[in-house]
Amino acid sequence: MCGIVGYVGSGSALEIVVAGLRRLEYRGYDSAGVALVADGDLWMRKRAGKIDVLEEALSAESPPDSSTGIGHTRWATHGGPTDSNAHPHISADGKVAIIHNGIIENFAELREELTEAGVHLTSETDSEVAAHLVALTLPDTGDDLAEAMRQVSRRLSGAFTLVAVDARRPDRIVGARRNSPLVVGIGDGEAFLASDVAAFIAHTRDAIELGQDQVVELTAGGVEVTDFYGEPVDTKPFTVDWDASAAEKGGYDLFMLKEIAEQPRAVADTMRGRIDRSGQLHLDDSRINDNELREIDKVVVIACGTAYHAGLVAKYAIEHWTRIPVEVELASEFRYRDPIVGRSTLVIAISQSGETMDTLMALRYAREQGARTLAICNTLGSTIPRESDAVLYTYAGPEIAVASTKAFLTQIVAAYLVGLYLAQVRGNMFGDEVRRILDQLADMPSKVDLVLDTVEDVRAIARELAEARAVLFIGRHVGFPVALEGALKLKELAYMHAEGFAAGELKHGPIALLEEGLPVVVVVPSPSSSAMLHDKIVSNIQEVRARGARTIVVAEEGDESVNSVADHIIRVPATPTLMQPLVATVPLQVFSCEMATVRGHDVDQPRNLAKSVTVE
Ligand code: F6R
């Protein structure tokens, strides 16, 4: 939530910061602003609305030349999306500008303290207090911005990334981080700060991820990182393994369309290099040894939204392969229900961003209870993998569209690899059995490619149904989480009422929702892989149809049994049951994307949402 950019060097800070904000707009887009340090003063502009609105305002002005600046794109928490609540916030003396991501939980008492000290606050945000506090602390530190930031950070509770500039020190910017992401980019005679490397990838791929409770001071010549008490800390530099073009639309109208099209590559990359010559699987980074994995007697998957649906899919496979019970829990619910987790529990946190606060808090809770933790994550060096005992990265590449697509498919693949790894070390499966599944997985990129060839038909169906009031999605077994995911995509993109149900559950209540013409999307399992499931769902389609619903059936090539019960058929290649989510989800992504487009919505940036949800 909220995107932050800072720049110091010799280039045009305004250009670099605004371009960076564009790349971070996915993190929040209800207001934006910039502050530049020039001629001993701050020059600041901010506007409610998307970055376009800010850029329009900037184009009507003559900003000063400056090579030090900060910028912010906001997802509102405290105070609505107005000009005055937009960031940066400026201290009462006009000398310090601050941008903030997160929530300062003790802001009310700090606000009161400032008001009592005669400071006039001009916004309703929690963030503004930080600007005033830093400015008021500076004189006691000999005008040392980094030291003032450290002292203020120690007084704040909650989650925050803060970045500040001081009009009197044009050669530096300072950042602080607690429970919220902040990455440093190291260029040649220039340095960057951002919530995500995407903001500076056009300039450098050399980065440092800040750790918890650290303050960084950047000048054109270098970077100094300390903890909140001023002790120098070791940093972990890394090189970003994708370039600027990966974060561009690459000829597609929408990031979502590009990311849907990238899925065959993303799935293939996530599998690449995991299996050695002897057929053994390898994780990226593991401090859990095989003996410990043999002691695991329960797996708990924690995740949110789409990642949670990936966990639900994985449950079927991991239980089937390992015979270990798997619970899948919404991260936001997990830690508040006193869950039973201990040393023999493997907690798998699935997160595209690696920064989702609900998942992070659930992960920390699990660690406190002694659980072994494993992260499945798409963002190198982000907090969730850093705080886990083992990591399996999904190599989906940057996912910019707010609605998750390629991350979902790769999360399923990664979770399957974990399941197979467990089955391998625990001896639940013979090597040839593991290899048979790996071969099936290896076939999936080309099968997803085949699905992509048929998207025009899916689009036509979406256009026909675009006026519907609601859409239901049903499935059985792994088709059930696919139905949930199809419904989530439609809600978030097309703003339509959509629900996913286990097909067998319909008759226990939801069937009352059916009415003449209501579109019902049905995910049909393979008849050859699971005949019983298949036949049951064909009966479900008949029940739905008998009540006047319009059926859109996702069925595999050659399954003629659905012809007589489907109003529309979406064909996917034949796959074994557990692989089907990797093909069946794709048309549902396209369906929602087209529905949203026809209904005139912003597909890449749906209302009220943000890509990285760093508040609980
Ligand atoms: C939906 C979507 C969200 C995320 C959820 C978790 O399309 O993108 O539901 O899946 O916010 O995000 P990560 O995976 O970053 O933890």
From CA 298, how far away is CA 283, in angstroms rounded?
Answer: 19
Same domain, 100 and 237: yes
Number of domain units in the chain: 3
Q: Which pair of structure tokens corresponds to residue 575? A: 């796959």
Q: 22-41: per-residue pLDDT in tens?
A: 988 878 788 999 999 999 99
Q: 164-197: per-residue pLDDT in tens?
A: 999 999 999 999 999 888 999 999 999 999 998 9
Same domain, 434 and 464: no
Q: 344-381: per-residue pLDDT in tens?
A: 999 999 999 999 999 999 999 999 999 999 999 998 87
Specify the CATH number for the domain of residue 184.
3.60.20.10
Same domain, 358 and 399: yes
| Domain end marker among 443, 476, 507 | 443
Same domain, 242 and 383: no
Distance 352 CA to ligand 1 centre (A): 7
Adjacency order of strands within the sheet including 222-227: 89-90, 96-104, 158-166, 173-178, 214-219, 222-227
Structural domain that includes position 357: 273-443
Give residue 527's pLDDT band: very low, low, confident or very high (50, 70, 90): very high
Give residue 278's pLDDT band: very low, low, confident or very high (50, 70, 90): low
Q: Which residues pair with 43 in a beta bridge?
A: 36
Q: Which residues pair with 569 in a beta bridge?
A: 553
From the candidates 2, 304, 377, 593, which is the catalytic residue?
Answer: 2
Do residues 352 and 409 lie in contact, with contact meaning Cβ atoms separated by under 8 Å? no
Distance 127 CA to ligand 1 centre (A): 25
**In-domain check, residue 603:** no
Identify the sign of the CA torsion 428, 429, 431, 436: negative
Q: Which atom of ligand 1 is nearest to the CA of 403?
A: 7
Give which of 217, 134, 194 is closest to 2, Cα–Cα: 194
Specify the CATH number for the domain of residue 383.
3.40.50.10490
Give residue 75's pLDDT band: very low, low, confident or very high (50, 70, 90): confident
**In-domain check, residue 132:** yes
Do residues 166 and 127 lie in contact, with contact meaning Cβ atoms separated by under 8 Å? no
Average pLDDT over residues 70-95: 93
Same domain, 122 and 36: yes
3-state helix, strand, coil in the chain (%, to 5): 40, 25, 35
Do residues 149 and 162 lie in contact, with contact meaning Cβ atoms separated by under 8 Å? yes
**In-domain check, residue 219:** yes
Give which of 518, 503, 540 is closest to 471, Cα–Cα: 518
**In-domain check, residue 266:** no
Same domain, 473 and 540: yes
Same domain, 332 and 378: yes
| Domain end marker among 186, 219, 251 | 251
Same domain, 56 and 115: yes
**In-domain check, residue 390:** yes
Do residues 402 and 610 lie in contact, with contact meaning Cβ atoms separated by under 8 Å? yes
Same domain, 191 and 294: no
**In-domain check, residue 615:** no
Same domain, 16 and 158: yes
**In-domain check, residue 257:** no
**In-domain check, residue 260:** no
Q: Which pair of structure tokens corresponds to residue 53? A: 């609105």
Identity (one letter) of the amino acid at 89?
H
Average pLDDT over residues 438-465: 96
- Name the closest-CA residue to atom 11, ligand 1: 305
From CA 570, how far away is CA 254, in angstroms rounded?
Answer: 23
Q: Which pair of structure tokens corresponds to residue 120? A: 């006039």
Same domain, 510 and 579: yes
Same domain, 529 and 406: no
Residues lining ligand 1, CB < 6 A?
304-307, 351-353, 356, 359, 403-404, 488, 492, 612-613
| Domain end marker among 420, 443, 466 | 443
Q: Which atom of ligand 1 is nearest to the CA of 379?
A: 15
- Give yes or no: 611 in active site: yes
Q: 392-429: per-residue pLDDT in tens?
A: 999 898 899 999 999 999 999 999 999 999 998 999 99
Do residues 260 and 593 lie in contact, with contact meaning Cβ atoms separated by under 8 Å? yes
Distance 227 CA to ligand 1 centre (A): 30
Q: Which residues pair with 272 in a beta bridge?
A: none
The per-residue pLDDT for 319 is 98
- Give yes or no: 2 in active site: yes
